[in-house]
Structure 1
């Protein structure tokens, strides 16, 4: 569910307080492609299969997305730096052709500019990746590909209702490297019902066979309303166990650091700082980002807004020359400070002292004594044990 918020002006105009921060804040662009061939049982993202769209297709989406790029260009004007990251997510962005994705990227480049070393990523389901697609993406200016691997075990993929075969993600990553991509990321999920510790180890070891530059490993979250939640509620599948998740997280750290990766965020590992997901860092550090597409969220100078969720409503607003924004909120200075604590403490770089209040600073020694944090260069940094308990540490710090 999207929050209600206040109405977004039909022009999409931002308050003066938000515009005043544009020039000094890095800019990122996100494009949400809402199409999937099938819906995975665990997924609650804003995605749609052909049957669910009832005639609203890729042509309608492309017209609307290009129109929103133009609208964003008008709203942001010239008072911002060139975009430092662009990210195509979904859904399955690679259900669009390489030419269509490159056309959207070219429009983003024309509208906002791109930094010379801009990171340009597309997510991709492994079964959609071909040498021809990869060549088109590289020629269009993409620099990074993020592949949804999830697992290397057939029975785990079956529970998640993933379509690709166990080895397909590794093969797709190898194809990306062969095509010339210098950054390939694999996304994994641990804690699927029926997944053993050995299953998870096998998935990690399989991922390493692809020699990726980046790995994301997320604990499975059972979202209300999904088929997986329904199966668990009816007793057809066991609920995920917290101790099992902790064991698998520790194994992830052991295997990936042993292979030369560093954890730069609680759920993300890279082969050195140059391979960190810079687009995700933009979210975690509170930069400006404009989200294009149905249900996409945006942020600028303490203003957050979100688009109409359904592709038909999204396209209809833009066809009328209006912002597709469904609501927005002005985030208070205190809430922005709290969000910094929530997000930056999850980073290996840690949280700067100046973000914390005096009472919060007084709690820090307790976390250090319990082995949950350490102090480095006037920053609070979570230890491995602290990362395991990150949500609880943050809650107690802010209490």
Structure 2
């Protein structure tokens, strides 16, 4: 079986790469209202591709509350076989600074074994990997398959809860495969089993009723920008450890992540020290991380010799697996209110909130995944954490509590640079991911419902 599927997937790859390139050419930026037409075209092309791949039913469905369109495709289950839900999303991030792209972001280009373009890795590769797996069985997979390709993941899936509720009877499955994560390195498959949550707030510090001359009043009158800087500095100690009372930590997966690799992938300057203590896995997957995301203050170009009366900053906090995002947001808010220097007035407006998630990778579906991905990649499947947040994981877990949830990579690796310029996909890794998913469907056919 393995050799037959390997040969079939290899023969399919030119077509699958064309499918992926066609999807990448559509600038389906869900965050841009002006791109609504492109998002619709992307959904319509996705539907046609699954129709061509033998789906018994395919629909383009508007999201709940009129959100960006999603695609739902169905392949009936043979008698007595389980049903698998395959998830990906067809919307993408904005291109960003075009000067940072080596080639146009929506013109897919292959260079040095990689395909470059916005969405190549995140997450149109997920769409294409599902197509490859289903084409490998000529549209008749050995298990029932429902495909959901969402159109608003890059804006945090605001309508997904309503969508899952509305179409619950059509989305129910024994196993859910969310192809929207990364491998730790090229050539080795990974299951993401923990995800940090995320909260944010905007903190405003006010020191004066109005701006005041820095020569006349400086030295006695406080200024808001210095006060804000001192407040933000209390989020960490001198080593860079987060110092907000009331936050929890988790146990990190035991995966080797060499510091030199991390520094290269993150773009850390040679002279800059890494922050925090403990292993890299602990720091980026299992512990909270506080970041000053933006500051509103007078610009350097427009600066005058005036004490700033008010300054604002947006603060983001990644919440450790096992913690509660609501309680973490309260802890962050409390810290900011209690640590302002010099009695300055502080206002905190709470923002985003995404819960962390932990998956226990035990059971027949996970055993099947280990067999399939080992055969597809020629390397053992490793369990990793996710430092970022994928809100959809918790949404699916809540909607389908009895289903096994596998968070996989459609071939993305640390060099893929999703959300950044020159996003790309390692095509050799992509082929392995396509084969592994086809093998997974075959392996899942033998598990008891």
- Whether the TM-score (by the shorter chain) exceeds 0.5 is no
| Larger relative contact order (Cα-Cα within 8 Å, sequence gap ≥ 6) | 2
More helix by share: 1
TM-score (normalised: structure 1): 0.29
Length-normalised TM-score, structure 2: 0.27
Larger radius of gyration: 2
